Amino acid sequence: MSAKKLTEIFDLLQGEPIKRLIVVCANDDHSILAVSQAIEQKLIIGILIGDKSIITSVCRQAGIDSGRFTIIHQPNEDLAAQQAVSMINRDEGDILMKGLLPTDKFMKVILHKENGLTTHGKIVSHVTVIENENYPKLLIVSDVAVIPLPDLNQKIQMIGYLVEVAESLNIKYPKVAIIAPSEQVIPSIISTTEAAILAKMNERGQIRGCLVDGPLALDVAIDNEAAEIKGLKSQVAGDADCLLFPNIESGNVFYKVNTKLARSESAAILVGTRVPVVLASRGDSINVKICSIALGALMARKNEGYNENN
């Protein structure tokens, strides 16, 4: 059965081997509480890199036994990030997570050409799984945080990442909507023309493992009634599993409208890296971080040989 709720990610992890999570600059209560609860649920082993005095103080105030973690003292943000990535590259961890440090510093180390977590020819993208009570299933969305304006080749890889996450959630042959301002192909709007190219490439077997349609305006992608009113015939319209946005502005606004106005729950990870990377915002709730850890664990477990093949 495919996961239709974020809580079902935890069900998919039952009986799976525990993975090692390394947290960079784990000096904040949200990260420590999320990791602690993930340990209690037997999802991960927690390795915290940061200021040991701050970490133990946070644990003490929260009533958490700091002995349940492996704590590595490194108070310098840059050095903590470098140490975490080096540990991943030495196969001492299976999942990486950002704690209390700026995203740009975190990403700089991950994207380092020689010592980072990237593979030549592969982009790094951000995938978010959103549970909105007004939609009958999970929505898998990209990119809301990393790639500002993806080109056609990047979009092809991003579709592959969306499919990878969908398959980890037991969603077989996911329906991918390429979002644009209109379902009409308008030559002056590049998001519509590239969407049409992506749909045609999928039709011809150049993009596999999913059903792609576009351009699709957001309303017709997720609402059957809107698609019917507009007379749109599409196997994806009104029933999308995945949404590929044309730029970071539209994706980020969609994400924040869901989480802040609609109070939707979510989980998010970086993909295209050698291991899953949990990249939750400092403003995200503990529940978002726990769900993101679970999604990272699921991706690490569902992709056997993740380090070698990604």
Exposed, middle or buried: residue 89 (CB in 10 Å: 0-12, 13-18, 19+)? middle
Tell me the CB-side half-sphere exposure of residue 226, using CA atoms within 13 A: 14
Q: Name 231's bridge partners.
A: none
Q: For residues 98-122, b (16+ Cβ closer than 10 Å) or e, as one string?
A: bbbbeeebbbebbeeeeebbeeeee
Summarize pLDDT for 118-145 with one digit per residue, the tens.
Answer: 988 899 999 999 999 999 999 999 999 9
Tell me the CB-side half-sphere exposure of residue 197, using CA atoms within 13 A: 12
Mean pLDDT of the chain: 94
Q: Where are the domains of the chain?
A: 1-118+275-308, 123-272
Query: 1-118+275-308 has which CATH code?
Result: 3.40.50.10950
Summarize pLDDT for 148-183 with one digit per residue, the tens.
Answer: 999 999 999 999 999 999 999 999 999 999 999 999
Note the pLDDT of residue 119: 87
Split at pLDDT 50, 70, 90, the class of 306 is: very low
Summarize pLDDT for 22-74 with one digit per residue, the tens.
Answer: 999 999 898 999 999 999 999 999 999 999 999 999 999 999 999 999 999 99
Check pLDDT > 70 for residue 308.
no
Note the pLDDT of residue 302: 54
Split at pLDDT 50, 70, 90, the class of 209 is: very high
> 123-272: which CATH topology?
Isopropylmalate Dehydrogenase (3.40.718)
> CA 232, CA 156: separation in Å to the nearest integer?
24
Note the pLDDT of residue 285: 86
Both structure tokens of 293: 């850890």
Check pLDDT > 80 for residue 9.
yes
Check pLDDT > 90 for residue 301.
no
* pTM, to two decimals: 0.93
Summarize pLDDT for 243-260 with one digit per residue, the tens.
Answer: 999 999 999 999 999 999
- Residues 81-101 have a mean pLDDT of 96
